[in-house]
Amino acid sequence: MRVVAPDLTTIAEAAERLRSGGLVAFPTETVYGLGGDATNARAVAAIFELKARPSFNPLIVHVTNLVEAESHGMFNAAARQLAVALWPGPLSIVVRRREGSAICDLACAGGPTVALRVPAHPVARALLAATGRPLAAPSANPSGYLSPTTARHVAEAFRDSDLMVLDGGPCAIGLESTVIDCSAAGPAVLLRAGGIARDDIDEIIGAVEDGTAPDDQRPRSPGLLTRHYAPRLPLRLNARTVSGDEALLAFGAAPPSGAKMVLNLSPTGDLVEAAANLFAMLHALEQSDAVGIAVMSIPDQGLGRAINDRLRRGAEGSACTPADRP
């Protein structure tokens, strides 16, 4: 853990760290973010590991401007109007991912959409410019803790890590960004209340739909969940053996043989590597002509908990696919 004042030298060092897969906590006008290169799945897996989230939520990806944002997502008229009016600022816009975007699957939790934000804070902007990569950054707090609005909050929360923290002083807004979903054809949906008031959004694109529950701010709309990874092939968990018509998602040094296609999450049993590979490998196995995907068991510790959470949900979802019915 190292807290530094942002200047040309420390920002260049932070950018170098990010480009080589390291993590840097940085100030935005809302809260401090725990940043990593959004195009590097290992870096994004390290974010989830440090936050100790028991599941993979999609992360907000920070970019320098609307042109860069449009290279990663498909902006409809409403999304563009909001971006033009309110960026840079405390607004995150969920849009469909653009094919060919270098943002990794894990940053989007395997889903077809991406949340993009252009922050206004000068340190965040300088860091984005120096790094030259989109930065995935959730709030820089361990899962279940309050969002950090000073560098000290971040330092105290991650005392034992080797995180670098850029100290930009207290955050002016101190409340997370508003998250609005413009990824579907219908009206935009407010997923999280935050730094931009709902009235300001209504004024720009007309009335938006409410996707937040009043008391806990969690999305009421099940749409958010269905946007997460839903497997096309049935998943069979804790497989010890595999049949010739199945694809195998392996883990560790000694996978069973005989599968139609095999991808190994981590031959060395490294959970960070496994998390980084999870969604891309599932997508690739789905492209095979196997009848299902057998998945070896993953230790239920550290990032393994988030991996297992995703796999369990995938297996439940696949229980009702036609292929699985008797």
- Which residues here bind ligand TXA, judged by CB under 6 A? 28, 30-31, 33, 57-60, 92, 94, 108, 111, 113-115, 117, 137-139, 176-177, 179, 181, 191-192, 224, 227
Of 31 and 262, nearer to ligand TXA (C-beta) is 31
Of 60 and 281, nearer to Mg ion (C-beta) is 60
Of 175 and 261, nearer to Mg ion (C-beta) is 175
Q: Residue 140: which of 33, 242, 239 has the closest Cα?
A: 33
Report the C-alpha gap between 323 and 137 in whole angstroms: 38
Nearest-approach distance from CB 217 to ligand TXA, in angstroms: 8
Report the C-alpha gap between 23 and 88 in whole angstroms: 23
Kindly write down the DSSP assignment for every residue of 29-73, as one continuous string.
Answer: SSSEEEEEETT-HHHHHHHHHHHT-SS-PPPEEE-SSHHHHHHHE
Of 133 and 227, nearer to ligand TXA (C-beta) is 227
Q: Which residue is nearest to Mg ion (CB)?
A: 139
- Which stretch, 135-143, 209-217, 258-266, 280-288, contacts Mg ion (CB under 5 A)? 135-143
Tokens 């413009």 map to which residue? 182
- Which stretch, 21-29, 41-49, 82-90, 132-140, contacts Mg ion (CB under 5 A)? 132-140
Helix (H, G, I), strand (E, B) or coil at 268: coil
Q: Is 139 in the site for Mg ion (CB under 5 A)?
A: yes
Instruction: Provide the CA 124 distance to its chain's centre, in angstroms.
Output: 18
Helices (H), the chain: 8-19, 41-51, 66-72, 77-86, 122-131, 151-157, 198-205, 223-226, 271-286, 303-318
Nearest-approach distance from CB 280 to ligand TXA, in angstroms: 17
Nearest-approach distance from CB 141 to Mg ion, in angstroms: 6
**Residue numbers of the site for Mg ion (CB under 5 A)?**
139
